[in-house]
């Protein structure tokens, strides 16, 4: 009793301190949120803005750890296909409505509708049911030990508000859908929408009734979010003091920002790995000069290529030290990662050349590399560097760079021989990587695997992960799969990207590995 | 006269139809919007279903006819990026672009003519030569570079003017205007200079050379011999007769300013239709791109019509009989 009183007193004191000391955070990044409807787009900047206003049952904090949000705790019940979530008491939406289990059930059902962009993340959910006002159970098709990791961007809306405003279907972007929820919000989050002009300016005000008072710093009382597309202008706006905090700092400007008085750069490894894929399944490649066979089909060639890429040189020259060279296609936070897998292969062009010659290509061969030029940090420059490195190993690479809108369909349609791809792992678990990049290409899985690699036994192992509840067994399977991926050189990993945020001196804000700044965690050091 | 206008409008619609068709034929090569619209978790079935719903599997002529059929009824479809009706997006963005274009054009025409006349009359003056030399910068530097330089000097180093955005706007009879607030006007200065600099130097050089031409003619000499004041000779007689080619160029350039403010809008994060167009290209937002290109077509056709009518006002010989 006493303790509760104390906590309440501290919370009130903090709340008072927070309002007395009104701080506006002017924040800029390259792109705007696409919609305010929390289930209509599955996209980084859209989720990031939504996170300030809406909340899920749980969320990732600034270090990427899962922490409670609208649920206070959760666990698998005796039945391994049922998860039980206990909900937070006394939470209300911005409009004053009380938060209950009905809202959770409603929001999950909404996120599973055909027009929802979040439905794939809930593909394993068979049913969600209310136990009582503050308890829900999620029933999955088969055990799903990783369910919570799929829920970090799954926002809860108020049932009454959404129904009243005819927004029970998520905004149907493809079919000209426009709804109330795409332009208005009613979440439980730390900030309330004040005004918004798309692509121009979004203003949020601190929620005076936020349940997290005292749990989070909550030192920002107003957020003014402005997309600034041109990198030079974004930097200029930070240098001239017109904004306080920017994301998407171009690597060539990092030093300049860091050296400016009153500004600093924070960085951290990003949840995104960059790598190359090779079409090793085809009988013959479209773009090579070897008739009737596919040089990529030979593992020696792939090993040699892996050797020929000098990741340290790419880091130094192309990335200005802003990358974390890796030998495996997953970032370090992912379950399944270890240092042995991550070890970068020794680069040696001479040995690589000999290996390619020994594999039956004494004169090397020619192939085309497809590369995006507007998707990853310095993507085209990395490809150019790799063209040179493979050239030394005897492989003549013709580079074809194009915008992402033209590049990704090549991978989707599997009409590329050699391509660059970057991958983030929102669930922070290897299974996600395997499902999309390692499993044989099929309608459901392997959708981003354009390597033509198929191995039925491996596919079975991958599928088994989804329902394996024994952590030790599961981890062992994960490791087995990785060892095969590494031994077969399925991909040529390059590096993990490093994220940089630029901000005013005096702002304490750790870089979040998913590039999602949650402003409620921001504090000022003076 | 009315028959003439009707004929021009009909010609204009043919031009628009052709512009639209070429645009649609080009969209095929811009890439696929599906990847941008669905998250990376989408299955192949989701992708195929979306492509079907968007009608992307239809042949280009079919897509084009569907688009035209709706467009003539004023329905330009819905943005693939924001899910908002395209017409609404363009109407919301248009004031920003039109105001910027208007201010740029006024600056360009005013300073272009004044400086052009000045450099023509004082052909050998030191100041005139300095103006002529500096004007080379306006002609030769690319717009984005001028923009970035201006931002660097006036926003970052001096801190006088904002580096991005439109400042505060006020609602004037449903028109969001930045011309009536102090911060809106401050925000206007750098983008307007950036956008209009090329046109200003162009007008100036044109006026100058035309003036030099005219000043050599006999009637100017007679005018001087009659003892008319310099002002009457220079402005009343000489300038007026240089204006026909100048109006043609201004007309074409005003269209350019409004339609291709894309670079300036991107550099200054100016929330107009040019910026919208750039965003749409990156996203392969076909409805927005199509509507924008049609809008630009309408703009050019209209401006050309106005220019033709203006000729008649300035030069009685060109009056259509």
| B183 has a chain A CB within 8 A of its CB | no
Provide mean pLDDT across the span A482-497. Answer: 94
A521 has pLDDT over 90: yes
Chain B residue nearest residue A228, CA to CA: B269
Band of pLDDT at residue A176, cut at 50, 70 and 90: low
Q: β-strand A125-132 against A135-140: which pairing, if any? A: antiparallel
User: At residue B159, what are phi and psi to the nearest 5 degrees?
Assistant: 70, 25
What is the residue extent of each domain of chain A?
3-262+505-524, 270-498
Residue-level pLDDT at A501? 94
What residues of chain B, 120 to 159, have a C-beta less than 8 Å from chain A?
A: 148, 151-152, 155-156, 159
Contacts of B152 in chain A (CB under 8 A): 236
CATH architecture of the region B86-320: Orthogonal Bundle (1.10)
pTM of the model: 0.85
B85 has pLDDT over 90: no
Contacts of B279 in chain A (CB under 8 A): 199, 229
Contacts of A411 in chain B (CB under 8 A): none
Helix, strand or coil, per DSSP, at residue A145:
coil
Contact A42 B41 (CB under 8 A): yes
Torsion of CA B185, B191, B196, B198, to 10 degrees: 160
Can you tell me the distance from the alpha carbon of A333 to that of A323, in angstroms, rounded to the nearest whole number? Answer: 15
Can you tell me the distance from the alpha carbon of A151 to that of A69, in angstroms, rounded to the nearest whole number? Answer: 11
Task: List the structure tokens of B152.
Answer: 């660097």
Can you tell me the distance from the alpha carbon of A39 to that of A62, in angstroms, rounded to the nearest whole number? Answer: 22
Contact A236 B31 (CB under 8 A): no
Contacts of A402 in chain B (CB under 8 A): 31
CB A145 within 8 A of CB A471: yes
- Name every residue whose Cβ is closer than 8 Å to that of residue A168 and which is 6 or more positions away in sequence: A110, A162
Can you tell me the distance from the alpha carbon of B30 to that of B34, in angstroms, rounded to the nearest whole number? Answer: 12
Chain B residue nearest residue A198, CA to CA: B82
Can you tell me the distance from the alpha carbon of A183 to that of A177, in angstroms, rounded to the nearest whole number? Answer: 12
| A333 has a chain B CB within 8 A of its CB | no
What residues of chain B, 200 to 259, have a C-beta less than 8 Å from chain A?
A: none
| B160 has a chain A CB within 8 A of its CB | no
Residue-level pLDDT at A21? 57
DSSP state of A99: P
What residues of chain B, 79 to 98, have a C-beta less than 8 Å from chain A?
A: 80-85, 89, 92
| Average model confidence (pLDDT) across chain B | 85
Task: List the structure tokens of A112.
Answer: 């599973």
Please tell me the CATH code under which domain A3-262+505-524 is placed.
Answer: 3.40.190.10
Side-chain-facing half-sphere of B132: CA atoms under 13 Å: 19
What residues of chain B, 286 to 315, have a C-beta less than 8 Å from chain A?
A: none
Query: Which of A34, A242, A402 has the CB atom closest to B82's CB atom?
Result: A34
Give residue-wise pLDDT tens across range A354-382.
999 999 999 999 999 999 988 899 999 99
Exposed / middle / buried, residue A111 (Cβ in 10 Å: 0-12, 13-18, 19+): buried
Contact B275 A436 (CB under 8 A): no
Phi-psi bin for B75: left (phi > 0), alpha (psi -120 to 50), beta?
beta
| A415 has a chain B CB within 8 A of its CB | no
Chain B residue nearest residue A172, CA to CA: B83
What radius of gyration do chain B's Cα atoms show? 24
Contact A34 B81 (CB under 8 A): yes
Can you tell me the distance from the alpha carbon of A186 to that of A180, in angstroms, rounded to the nearest whole number? Answer: 11
Band of pLDDT at residue A19, cut at 50, 70 and 90: very low
Contacts of A444 in chain B (CB under 8 A): 43-44
Distance of CA A199 to the CA centre of its chain: 22
Q: Of B103, B203, B200, which Cα lies nearest the Cα of B146? A: B200
A422 has pLDDT over 50: yes
Query: Which of A35, A172, A412 has the CB atom closest to B35's CB atom?
Result: A412
Residue-level pLDDT at B319? 60
Chain A residue nearest residue B157, CA to CA: A240
A18 has pLDDT over 50: no
Q: Of A395, A393, A467, A465, which Cα lies nearest the Cα of A434? A: A465
Can you tell me the distance from the alpha carbon of A495 to that of A385, in angstroms, rounded to the nearest whole number? Answer: 13
A270-498: CATH class: alpha beta
A222 has pLDDT over 80: yes
Contacts of A401 in chain B (CB under 8 A): none
Can you tell me the distance from the alpha carbon of A455 to that of A490, in angstroms, rounded to the nearest whole number? Answer: 12
Query: Which of B40, B80, B163 has the CB atom closest to A448's CB atom?
Result: B40
Query: Which of B32, B45, B266 has the CB atom closest to A230's CB atom?
Result: B266
Query: Which of B53, B151, B164 has the CB atom closest to A174's CB atom?
Result: B53
Strands (E), A279-328: 323-325
Provide mean pLDDT across the span A307-312. Answer: 93
A15 has pLDDT over 50: no
Helix, strand or coil, per DSSP, at residue A367:
strand
Phi-psi bin for A304: left (phi > 0), alpha (psi -120 to 50), beta?
alpha
Q: Of A253, A248, A242, A359, which Cα lies nearest the Cα of A307? A: A359
Provide mean pLDDT across the span A330-350. Answer: 89
Query: Which of B54, B151, B165 has the CB atom closest to A174's CB atom?
Result: B54
CB A25 within 8 A of CB A223: yes
The whole-angstrom distance between A406's CA and the closest CA on chain B is 4
A175 has pLDDT over 80: no
């Amino acid at each position: 009793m006493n303790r509760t009183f104390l906590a309440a007193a501290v919370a009130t004191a903090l709340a008072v301190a927070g309002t007395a000391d009104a701080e506006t955070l002017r924040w800029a990044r390259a792109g705007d949120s696409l919609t305010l409807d929390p289930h209509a787009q599955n996209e980084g900047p859209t989720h990031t803005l939504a996170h300030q206003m809406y909340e899920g049952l749980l969320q990732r904090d600034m270090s990427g750890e899962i922490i409670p949000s609208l649920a206070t705790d959760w666990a698998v019940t005796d039945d391994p296909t049922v998860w039980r979530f206990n909900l937070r008491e006394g939470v209300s939406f911005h409009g004053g409505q009380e938060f209950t289990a009905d809202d959770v059930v409603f929001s999950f059902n909404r996120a599973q509708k055909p027009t929802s962009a979040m439905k794939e993340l809930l593909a394993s959910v068979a049913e969600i049911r209310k136990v009582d006002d503050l308890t829900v159970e999620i029933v999955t098709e088969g055990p799903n030990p990783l369910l919570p990791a799929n829920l970090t961007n799954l926002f809860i809306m108020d049932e009454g508000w959404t129904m009243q405003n005819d927004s029970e279907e998520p905004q149907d972007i493809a079919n000209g859908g426009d709804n109330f929820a795409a332009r208005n919000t009613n979440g439980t989050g730390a900030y309330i929408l004040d005004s918004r002009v798309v692509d121009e300016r979004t203003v949020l005000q601190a929620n005076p009734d936020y349940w997290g008072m005292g749990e989070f710093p909550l030192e920002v009382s107003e957020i003014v979010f402005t997309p600034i597309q041109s990198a030079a202008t974004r930097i200029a706006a930070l240098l001239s003091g017109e904004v306080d905090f920017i994301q998407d700092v171009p690597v060539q400007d990092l030093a300049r920002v860091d050296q400016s008085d009153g500004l600093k750069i924070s960085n951290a490894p990003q949840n995104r790995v960059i790598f190359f894929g090779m079409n090793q399944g085809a009988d013959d490649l479209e773009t090579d000069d070897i008739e009737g066979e596919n040089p990529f089909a030979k593992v020696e060639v792939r090993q040699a290529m892996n050797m020929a890429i000098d990741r340290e040189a790419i880091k130094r020259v192309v990335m200005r030290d802003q990358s974390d060279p890796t030998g495996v296609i997953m970032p370090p936070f992912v379950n399944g990662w270890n240092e042995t897998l991550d070890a970068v292969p020794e680069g040696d062009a001479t040995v690589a050349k000999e290996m390619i010659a020994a594999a039956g290509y004494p004169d090397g061969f020619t192939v085309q590399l497809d590369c995006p030029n507007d998707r990853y940090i310095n993507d085209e420059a990395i490809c150019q560097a790799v063209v040179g490195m493979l050239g030394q190993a005897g492989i003549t690479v013709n580079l074809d760079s194009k915008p992402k809108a033209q590049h990704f369909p090549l991978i989707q349609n599997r009409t590329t021989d050699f391509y660059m791809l970057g991958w983030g792992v929102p669930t922070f678990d290897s299974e996600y990587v395997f499902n999309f990049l390692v499993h044989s290409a099929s309608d459901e899985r392997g959708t981003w695997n354009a390597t033509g690699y198929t191995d039925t036994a491996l596919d079975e192992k991958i599928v088994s992960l989804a329902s394996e509840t024994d952590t030790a067994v599961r981890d062992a399977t994960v490791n087995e799969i990785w060892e095969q991926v590494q031994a077969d050189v399925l991909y040529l990993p390059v590096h993990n990207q490093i994220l940089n945020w630029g901000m005013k001196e005096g702002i304490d804000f750790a870089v979040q590995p998913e590039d999602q700044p949650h402003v409620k965690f921001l504090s000022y050091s003076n | 006269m009315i028959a003439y206008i009707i004929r021009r409008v009909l010609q204009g619609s043919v031009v628009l139809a052709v512009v639209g068709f070429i645009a649609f034929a080009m969209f095929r090569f811009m890439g696929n919007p599906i990847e941008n619209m669905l998250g990376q978790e989408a299955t192949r079935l989701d992708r195929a279903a979306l492509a079907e719903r968007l009608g992307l599997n239809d042949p280009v002529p079919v897509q084009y006819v569907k688009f035209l059929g709706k467009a003539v009824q004023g329905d330009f479809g819905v943005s693939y990026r924001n899910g908002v009706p395209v017409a609404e997006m363009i109407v919301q963005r248009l004031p920003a672009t039109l105001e910027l274009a208007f201010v740029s054009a006024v600056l360009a025409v005013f300073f272009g003519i004044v400086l052009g006349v000045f450099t023509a009359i004082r052909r050998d003056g030191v100041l005139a030569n300095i103006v002529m030399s500096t004007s080379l910068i306006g002609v030769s530097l690319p717009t984005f570079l001028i923009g970035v330089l201006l931002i660097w000097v006036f926003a970052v180093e001096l801190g006088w003017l904002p580096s991005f955005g439109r400042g505060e706007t006020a609602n004037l009879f449903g028109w969001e205007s930045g011309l009536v607030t102090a911060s809106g006007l401050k925000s206007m200065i750098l983008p307007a200079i950036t956008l209009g600099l090329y046109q200003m130097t162009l007008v100036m050089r044109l006026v100058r050379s035309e003036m030099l031409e005219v000043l050599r003619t006999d009637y100017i000499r007679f005018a001087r011999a009659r003892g008319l004041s310099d002002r009457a000779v220079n402005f009343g007689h000489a300038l007026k007769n240089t204006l026909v080619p100048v109006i043609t160029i201004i007309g074409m350039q005003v269209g350019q300013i409004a339609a291709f403010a894309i670079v300036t809008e991107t550099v200054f994060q100016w929330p107009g239709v040019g910026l919208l167009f750039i965003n749409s290209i990156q996203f392969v937002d076909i409805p927005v791109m199509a509507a924008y290109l049609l809008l630009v077509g309408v703009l050019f056709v209209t401006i050309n019509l106005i220019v033709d009518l203006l000729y008649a006002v300035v030069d009685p010989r060109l009056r259509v009989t």
